[in-house]
Chain A
Amino acid sequence: MTNAIAPTNSAHAIPGSSARAGRGSIKMSARAVNVHYGATHAVKDAVLDISINEVTALIGPSGCGKSTLLRCFNRMNDDIVGCRVTGDIRLDGEPINDSEMDVVELRARVGMVFQKPYPFPKSIEENIAYGPRIHGLAKKGMELDAIVERSLQRAGLWDEVRDRLGSPANSLSGGQQQRLCIARALAVDPEVILMDEPCSALDPIATAKVEELIDELRGGYAIAIVTHNLQQAARISQKTAFFHMGQLIEYGPTSEIFTNPKVQKTNDYITGRYG
């Protein structure tokens, strides 16, 4: 099928979708986004909204362009040679590809957590303090210490690491490392958090902890998460967008997508016919 949802740039809402039924107001929105890697057309006319106090899950088979689209929200694709992004992405109504928007500021407001737990090869404390330090968020050491503690607490890691803030970050377990990365992103006080398959490298127990954390964080942030794990999407997200071959197939409240998908392809995917 072709693109079922025609984007209308002026209104900046997704017509025909049930986006407005959600509780959050829209924080970021993407319209008519196309991404090309050289000759590959990775994302085709995508539309997506990320709302406050909600987790938006991006699901779809491998190579469907969901990660690429996610990276458009804080312009991480800028740094990839041969990657071209077109379309309209806005943060609080302001276009982020605009020259007015500084990419450094954007990334401070739209944080990112990556697939594998990638702490910097430094101490736990240094990992958290790095973001605030480069953005000048803390003037004194005390303030910085406070940010470190708050971020670790929000990431639910404080009690586990409070006695060894100076030890190397990679002495932590995989699950702790990923929560450290989330704490690192939280330390710059972002408004949006993008998560690119944050649990794919973790064991089930660590996954459960991270999921719990995401659910808690929902209260203060707009969160978008790319996941391969359909159960995870169902468990933690309020909105779900299903992508296939670079196109958005269906977008709506998670409960609807999983129980009553409107498009046959979505149904096929969530019931495991292909994937």
Chain B
Amino acid sequence: MVDPRSHWQSESFKRRLRRRNASERRFRFFGVAAVLVAGAALSLLLVSVLSNGLGAAYRTEFALDVEFDPEILGIETPPPGEAVEILASADFGAILRTSLMRRFPEAEGRSEIRELTALLSRGASAELADRLRAKPALLGQRARIWIPTSDDVNFLLKSRESDSGANPSTRLSDRQVGWVDALMDEDRVANRFNSRFFTAGDSREPELAGIGGALIGTALTLLVTLAVSFPLGVSAAIYLEEFAPDNRWTRLLEVNINNLAAVPSIVFGLLGLAVFLGLFGMPRSAPVVGGLTLALMTLPVIIIASRASIAAVPFWIRESARGLGASPVQVVAHQVLPIAMPGIVTGTLLGLARAMGETAPLLMIGMVAFIVDVPTNFADASSALPVQIFLWADSPERGFVEKVSGAILVLLALLAILNGAAIMLRQRFEQRW
């Protein structure tokens, strides 16, 4: 018989031990490496989105001395105390043009004046009208007002920053660059915070475009999704888990629900198109249709998460409640559901987060569209945040590059809030233990 002591001291045992320790170290190294790679990828994404996207909420503006001439505008000066009535035909463009021409009298001839006004955003006159509407006292006055520029000016400034001023590449002519320089010498050019980015709807001018419409569209859509998929999903899960007989049909149903969760989202878009638009004749591009379509997509996710969560409730909870004389529905409603709720809520929010990032199903029901007006109800035409990102990423104007990153930042922030809410709700429910 081998002496165990000599066995522990034998060469072969020590060799095996070394091998075991080495493989242990190797495994840990791979684990750490995997975490590092994932972390690096994530921080790379964040850094690139952050560096591009923070500029999205800023735009370049000129400070111009604007004279609100009632004659050019065709507006009568109202008696004191009455509101100014601004006609749609009021030519605010002319006011901006005269303001620029006064500052740069050297610009002569049609094409030069065109070049001069091209420095301003196409939406400048509309914003000027808003300004007058908000402050009627300006009528007949001359005021220094910040006016958004075209995104070419923005790019000129940006490329100067990055190339340290040497030979900036720009679409502006030398004359236009000269004018911008002149204004800069007078401190009349600045990058200013642009609240429109958070409130306005879509626009083809980057300096006017905003995610407001898309945000509200996403909110309305997700509300419908939640209101439909949560009660339906949880009820279905409760029935399947607690009441349905275990037979061939329920098993078939179960397999189908699991399959449904893996179906590509575009299929739900087709379903939504056929059922909600085709059969029910609901309006195209409406958040209610988007929400219902995404609810179809989210339903299996919620059912699966809820079933798993309900199944994980210990058997003895049900036994104890039944032993006290609780009816089956009381057992579920009073004891099982409260315990399963954190898991159900987490599953629901994950499903909603997935729905929030979808564009494919919305494509089929017309929510991938150029929509300027901010939606105000569930039947208004509206887009959604990921749709807005997709549309902007496809736009030729360069100014949309940073808008895309900005919108992605907002989407990421929303996802963080949603997941934070999941964690908070979870803890809230679990305190009852």
Interface residues of A (CB under 8 A from B): 74, 76, 79, 81, 104-108, 111-112, 114, 116, 118, 120-122, 130-131, 134-135, 168, 170, 181, 184-185, 188
Contacts and interface: CB of A to CB of B under 8 A. Distances in A.
A130 B321 CA distance: 9
Contact of A120 (B246, B317, B330): B317
**Top-5 shortest CB links A-B:** A112-B323, A107-B325, A108-B325, A131-B324, A121-B433
Nearest to A113: B323
B326 A134 contact: yes
B324 A188 contact: yes
Contacts of B321: 120, 130
A76 B323 contact: yes
Contacts of B314: 118
Interface in B298-338: 314, 316-327, 330, 334-335, 338
Nearest to A104: B325
A173 B64 CA distance: 77
Given A81-B246, A121-B432, A122-B432, A181 B325 contact: no
B247 to A, nearest CB: 11
Contacts, number: 64
Indicate the member of B246, B318, B320, B334 with the most A CB atoms within 10 Å: B320
A184 B322 CA distance: 12
A184 B324 contact: yes
Contacts of B433: 121, 168, 170
Q: How extensive is the interface on chain B, given as a class?
A: 20 to 34
B322 A120 contact: no
Indicate the member of B317, B318, B322, B324 with the most A CB atoms within 10 Å: B324
B339 interface: yes
A127 to B, nearest CB: 9
Contacts of A134: 324-327, 330, 334
Contact of A74 (B316, B323, B432): B323
B323 A114 contact: yes
B317 A76 contact: no
Nearest to B316: A118
A111 B320 contact: no
Nearest to B318: A79
17 contacts: A76-B322, A76-B323, A79-B322, A104-B325, A104-B326, A107-B323, A112-B323, A114-B323, A116-B316, A120-B320, A121-B433, A130-B321, A131-B325, A134-B334, A181-B320, A185-B324, A188-B325
B322 A107 contact: yes
Contacts of A170: 433
Contact of A135 (B246, B325, B334, B432): B325
Nearest to B324: A131
Contact of A185 (B317, B318, B323, B327): B323
A111 B433 CA distance: 24
A118 B325 contact: no
Contacts of B326: 104, 130, 134
Given A114-B316, A188-B325, 6 more contacts: A108-B325, A112-B323, A114-B319, A114-B323, A131-B324, A134-B326
Contacts of B316: 114, 116, 118
A134 B319 CA distance: 15
B319 A118 contact: yes
Contacts of B325: 104-108, 131, 134-135, 188
Contact of A111 (B317, B324, B334, B339): B324
Contacts of B432: 121-122, 168
Given A130-B334, A134-B334, A168-B433, A118 B324 contact: no
A118 to B, nearest CB: 4
A246 B392 CA distance: 75
A120 B319 CA distance: 11
A118 B334 contact: no
B327 A104 contact: yes
Contacts of B338: 121
Indicate the member of A106, A114, A130, A135 with the most B CB atoms within 10 Å: A130
A67 to B, nearest CB: 12
Nearest to A170: B433
A57 to B, nearest CB: 20
Interface string B274-318: 000000000000000000000000000000000000000010111
A196 B334 CA distance: 24
A181 B325 CA distance: 14
A235 to B, nearest CB: 25
A188 B246 CA distance: 33
A135 B327 CA distance: 10
A121 B432 CA distance: 6
A154 to B, nearest CB: 16
A74 B325 CA distance: 9
B322 A111 contact: no
B335 A76 contact: no
Nearest to B433: A121
A122 B336 CA distance: 12
Contacts of A107: 322-325
Indicate the member of A76, A81, A112 with the most B CB atoms within 10 Å: A112
Contacts of A106: 325
Contacts of B324: 107-108, 111, 130-131, 134, 184-185, 188
Nearest to A119: B320
Given A118-B316, A168-B433, A111 B335 contact: no
A79 B319 CA distance: 9
A135 B330 CA distance: 11
Indicate the member of B316, B323, B326, B330 with the most A CB atoms within 10 Å: B323
A120 B316 CA distance: 9
Contacts of B246: 81
A185 B317 CA distance: 14
A114 B317 CA distance: 11
A109 B330 CA distance: 18
A182 to B, nearest CB: 12
A170 B325 CA distance: 22
B311 to A, nearest CB: 14
